[in-house]
Amino acid sequence: MSEPDFTSLQQRMLAEIAAKTVFATTSLGKAALDSRVMKALATVPRHAFVPIELRPCAYLDTPLPIGFGKTVSQPFIVAVMTDLLGVQPTDTVLEIGTGLGYQSAILAELAHRVFTVEIIEELAEQAAHRLADQGHANVEIRIGNGCHGWPEHAPFDKIIVTAAPELIPPALIYQLKAGGTMVIPAGLADGQQLIQLKKDAQGSVTTREIFQVLFSTLEDVDSP
């Protein structure tokens, strides 16, 4: 497919996200996502972050397989999670679950620095190449157990998790800066909820359930 074809499909994807946001107004508390988030989605070419054979499907509002039993998330979910995170230009963000780097690239458009952890070495290596090809120099990737976060660079202004633990890992809560926000799916496979977690200036934590989701399980095993 040509670049103009991708541009047209990307615009259609953005329109579909905007429409779905209106239908989710009750859950989200608003009828439109932040304009900076929508601009990032318009800027990052999703087709550069999916397997080449799936490029014609890149702008469908659906998750796509990326190998190893993993997927790149549905664009609407990427948009909502990014919006709930409330990333600012000065923020340092931790992402758990790099995949092929699509969410990382969205964050890179919005934040000062992005640190992202991927447990599968082959995916991390592919993501590094894809992010470099797109010029995202403010992303650093680590291969390891996402449940442990990245303590060397903590605390983080924002944390986003793209796989679901049953319970929110304590290490991630600890590594969230006072005043920070985490967005994470959590729960049993048949009852996962997308959760927005906030830590106030005194370190107290509050959570808000957004809506039910279905993510792959966040693996809690030793680093490769």
Q: Which residues belong to the active site?
A: 73
Q: In what order do the strands lie in the sheet with 176-186?
A: 139-143, 113-118, 92-96, 156-161, 176-186, 193-199, 205-212
φ/ψ region of 40 (left if φ > 0, alpha if ψ in -120 to 50, else beta) reads alpha
**Backbone φ, ψ for residue 16 (5° rounding):** -65, -40
Cβ neighbours of residue 2 under 8 Å, at least 6 residues apart?
Answer: none
The single-letter DSSP state of residue 50 is S
Distance, in Å, from the CA atom of 113 to the CA atom of 75, rounded to the nearest integer, reads 22
